[in-house]
Structure 1
C-alpha cells in the first residue's frame, strides 16, 4: 500500500479542511498501511503510537475493520493483522496468491469437464469469499462476482470451512450471528458439519437458491490446514442424480490435486 498519514480530528488539503466521516476513512487506510511483511501483527498500543492516535480511536477503527473482515484478531494475544476479507477489495493482490495460481488450471479443467461454473473460495474467519471464478460456457448458468461473500451454513463452501473449525468456534459464530443457520440449532449444524468433514464434500442442493446446485471440497496445505475450497455451481434443472454424483467426485479430485501441489496430504475419503 502507498504510505498514508493519519489525519487526527481534522486535516488541511488543497480543497480545504478534511473533517467528519472522511477523517475516519483516512485514518482507517493509514491503520491498514501500518501492517507489513516484516510486521504482519501489531497491538493496539503499537498502532496508536505509530499513527499518533488515541488507543480508543484505534480500537474503534479496528473493531469496524474486523467486522467487515479487513483485519483479524490474533487469538487471545491482543494483536491484529490484515484479514482475508481484504481480498474482496484488492484485485491485484489476488495475482500473487499461490493457492490462486495453483488452483486456476484445476478449476479451468473442471469447467471443461463439466461445462459448469467453477470457483475458488477463501475463508475470512466468518464468511467464504470468492477470489477466482471461471463461468460456464453455456448460456444458462450460475455465476458469482469476485469478492462475493457467503455466511449461511447452507452454502456449500461455508460448510467446508466450518467443518474444519473447533465446535466451540462454530457455536460462537452461530450465537453471534456471524454465520446464519436459518433456524437450525447448533447441534443439527454440527452433525451436518461432521459429515462434511468425513466426506470431504459439501452439497447445496437448492438450499440457498431453489434453482442452483453447488458442490464444494476443501483444499489443504502442507500443514493439513484447509486453505481454500473448490466450488462448482450449476442450474439444478440440468443436474441429474448421476451428474450430481459425478460432479461431486470431480470437485473432490480437483481439490485433492490442488492440495497435492500445495504439499498437502490427500486422504482417500
Structure 2
C-alpha cells in the first residue's frame, strides 16, 4: 500500500511538471485547476519540486516556472532528444553559410542563458561561452526572448530593480513591438563594445517561444546591412529547428 502511494505522488508531481508544456509560468491556483488536484496537495508537491530545483518560484508574482535542474538532466539526453544537441548540426550549417558565430539562448527568469554556441572560423570572431548569463534588457537575443514572451513576463522584465539606467523603457517597448512585427531583432554594441548581433525566435510545439537563435560578430563585418542580408537564412534555420521538435 505504501508503494502505491509513492507511485501516485510521483504521478502527481509529473503531472505538475507537464503543465509547463502549455504555459511557461503558472500560479498554484492555475496548476491545481489544470491537474484537478486540491491546492493543499499541489502546494506540498510544488514545495518539494522547488526544493529539488525542478521548479523555481518568482517571489513577486508567486508564479512557478521550470528550474534549471531540468537542464542538468537534459545534458544527459541523446542528440535526438536535447534541443541544444539536436540543433547543433543546423547551427553549424548556418555558421558555415554566414561565417559568423551562432548561439542558442533560453530565458531563465529575468536573464538569458547561452545553452549552445558554434563559433565563427574567422580569425577575428565573437567568442561565445556556453552557460553565460546575460540580461534581457539589451542584445538581440534578449529582446527576442522578451518580445515573444507572455505579457506578464514582459511586465516583470520592466519591473526588474536591476534595469540599466541607460535603457529607456518606452523605447524598449517600441522595439519589442517592432520585433514582433518583423520577426527578428538586431543590436549594435548594446551589451558589448565592438559586437553586433541579429536574432530570431524558435517556437515549441505549443506555440510558446522556446529559444532565441542568434548570429553575432564584429561590428565592422556584421553591419546592419549585412544583418538584413542574413536574416532570411537565420529564419530558415529556425524553421527547420522547429520542425525537428514537431516531427
TM-score normalised by the chain length of structure 2: 0.71
Whole-angstrom CA distance in 2 between matches of 1:124 and 1:85: 12
Return the offset for 1:79.
7.7
Alignment correspondent of 2:177: 194
- Residues 138-157 of structure 1: CA distance to partner in whole angstroms, max 9, x if unpaired? 12111221111111422111
Indicate the SS of the match to 1:144.
coil
Indicate the SS of the match to 1:238.
coil
Return the offset for 1:205.
1.1
Is 2:95 aligned against 1:111? yes
Return the offset for 1:241.
4.6
Indicate the SS of the match to 2:246.
coil
Equivalent runs, 1:1-269 vs 2, <5 Å: 37=14, 40=17, 45-46=44-45, 71-73=55-57, 82-84=66-68, 87=71, 92-93=75-76, 97-177=81-161, 180-263=163-246
Cα distance change on mapping 1:193 and 1:40 into 2, 3 Å: same
Whole-angstrom CA distance in 1 between matches of 2:61 and 2:156: 19
Cα distance change on mapping 1:71 and 1:199 into 2, 3 Å: same
- Residues 42-70 of structure 1: CA distance to partner in whole angstroms, max 9, x if unpaired? 8553477x7xxxxxxx99x79xx7xxxx7
Return the offset for 1:232.
0.8
Checking the alignment, whether the CA contact within 8 Å between 2:137 and 2:157 is kept in structure 1 is no
Gaps of 5+ in 2: 1-11, 19-40
Cα distance change on mapping 1:72 and 1:217 into 2, 3 Å: same
TM-score normalised by the chain length of structure 1: 0.66
Cα distance change on mapping 1:95 and 1:204 into 2, 3 Å: farther
Alignment correspondent of 2:4: none
Alignment correspondent of 1:21: none
Checking the alignment, whether the CA contact within 8 Å between 1:157 and 1:202 is kept in structure 2 is yes
Checking the alignment, whether the CA contact within 8 Å between 2:46 and 2:55 is kept in structure 1 is no
Indicate the SS of the match to 1:222.
coil
**Bigger relative contact order (CA 8 A; separation at least 6):** 2
Return the offset for 1:137.
1.0
Return the offset for 1:121.
1.1
